[in-house]
Amino acid sequence: MAEPVSRKAAGEGKNRTKHVMGEPRKGKPSWLKVKPRAGKDYFELRRLFAEQGLNTICAEARCPNTAECWNHRTATFLILGDRCTRRCTFCNVGYGWSGEVDRDEPRRLAEGVAALGLRHVVLTSVDRDDLPDGGASVFVECVQRLRALDAELRIELLIPDFAGKPAALEAVLDASPEVLAHNLETVHRLYPGVRPRSSYRASLDLLRRVGERPSPPVVKTGIMLGLGEEEDELVELMEDVREAGVQILTIGQYLQPSPRHHRVERFYTPEEFAALADRGRDLGLPWVESGPLVRSSYHAARQHEALG
């Protein structure tokens, strides 16, 4: 990769690119081909999730690694329903405001985890701006139920921004997850078109506050490539997350769910992903998981074990 130009030196360039909706780019490269959804464990987990009434971000977001992960008996649970109160242009999760909470979900989640025999559990949620605490209390109850099930269980939480409410974040941190993740998703300039009603600076501040806690959890964030970002912007983002205390950065290729979503502007090669991982490590990030099919929770247990 060429030596980047500093964005501070080059200027922000407010209108350098705009987000574009439209038809997905044709001719998906060979390195983005995934295994068919098959296998004994895959079908067993699908049945279990249906019986327990549990959602996974694997299914809701059409993750390309679903077959691989489920066949290794790992999954990322989606709590607080399957309707989000924000309309990010990259995301395939449905939209809706209800104000409702399934109070039995933490119990069913704990039973599902017990049935799977998991040692590392990843929980995430939709944005719930329709709730006073953004759903933080449900995260806390889920952690408590899981701890009661198995005190040695490793718990990773991938949280929304809770609309910037400090008390909500503190309540979740007081539950003492081993890993606390919050995804930036993209570079600062693209936020208005990609993550409306979210803030790059507010998300960075959330990550920083997590790392500043006494005995903090492992701090983690993730981004997607192919939305129209530029190389110098990616370097600036990596510098920002390093300064915020992030220990794990995941980098993957954005894949457009439908024509109404943000268009893929570019497919990065595996070599480019490897070069970005090297650049992140050179900048001082302890762990960079970078590849075309990498997603936020891909190899989550391995990452925690390596840093532990």
Residue 134 and residue 84: Cα distance in Å, rounded? Answer: 11
State the Cα–Cα distance between residues 85 and 284, nearest whole angstrom: 35
The C-alpha atoms of residue 200 and residue 190 are separated, in whole angstroms, by 9
Strands (E), 80-140: 83-84, 94-95, 120-125
- Quick: pLDDT tens for 276-290: 999 999 999 999 999
Average pLDDT of span 243-250: 97
Which one is predicted more confidently, 234 or 25?
234
Confidence at residue 15, expressed as pLDDT on a 0 to 100 scale: 40
Q: What is the pLDDT of residues 167-191, one digit of tens each?
A: 999 999 999 999 999 999 999 999 9
For residue 70, the model assigns a pLDDT of 67
Residue 50 confidence (pLDDT):
81
Least confidently predicted of 67-76, 90-99, 210-219: 67-76
- Are β-strands 94-95 and 120-125 bridged in parallel, bridged antiparallel, or unpaired? unpaired
Please tell me the distance from the alpha carbon of residue 203 to that of residue 182, in angstroms, as a whole number: 7
Contact 132, 167 (CB under 8 A): no
How large is the average pLDDT for residues 41-46?
77
Task: Label residue 80 by pLDDT band (50, 70, 90).
Answer: very high
**DSSP letter string over 129-142?**
TTSTTTTHHHHHHH
End-to-end alpha carbon distance in the chain = 32
Find out whether 168 and 139 touch, Cβ atoms under 8 Å.
no
pLDDT in tens, 106-149: 999 999 888 888 888 899 999 999 999 999 999 999 999 999 98
Beta-carbon neighbour count of residue 116 at 10 Å?
Answer: 17
The answer on pLDDT for 239 being more than 50 is: yes
- Is pLDDT at 26 greater than 70 in this prediction? no
Token pair recorded at residue 47 = 């049945």
CB burial class (10 A; 0-12, 13-18, 19+) of residue 254?
buried
Cα separations in angstroms, 63 against 113, 260, 297: 20, 18, 10
Looking at the chain, the whole-number percentage of residues with pLDDT higher than 70 is 86
> Any residues with CB less than 8 A from the CB of 111 and at least 6 apart, and which?
52
Question: 55 phi and psi, to 5 degrees?
Answer: -100, 150
User: Percent of the chain scored above 90 by pLDDT?
Assistant: 60
How far apart (Å, rounded) are the C-alpha atoms in residues 158 and 106?
Answer: 16
pLDDT at site 11: 37
pLDDT classification of 12: cutoffs 50, 70, 90: very low
pLDDT value at residue 35: 66
With a CB cutoff of 8 Å and minimum separation 6, the contacts of 127 are 84, 85, 86, 134, 160, 161
Q: What is the pLDDT of residue 21?
A: 59
Quick one: tokens of 48? 């279990």
The pLDDT value recorded for residue 61 is 62
Helix, coil or strand: residue 127: coil
The pLDDT score that the predictor gives to residue 288 is: 96
Answer with the residue of higher pLDDT: 103 or 118.
103
Mean pLDDT across the chain: 86
Could you say which DSSP state residue 249 is in?
A: E
Residue 1: is its pLDDT beyond 80? no
Angle formed by the axes of helices 200-211 and 231-243, nearest 10°: 30
H/E stretch holding 276 reads helix 270-282
CA distance 48 to 54: 8
Instruction: Pick the closest to residue 249 from 268, 216, 213, 276 (CA basis).
Output: 276
Would you state the pLDDT for residue 308? Answer: 66
By residue count, the chain amounts to 308
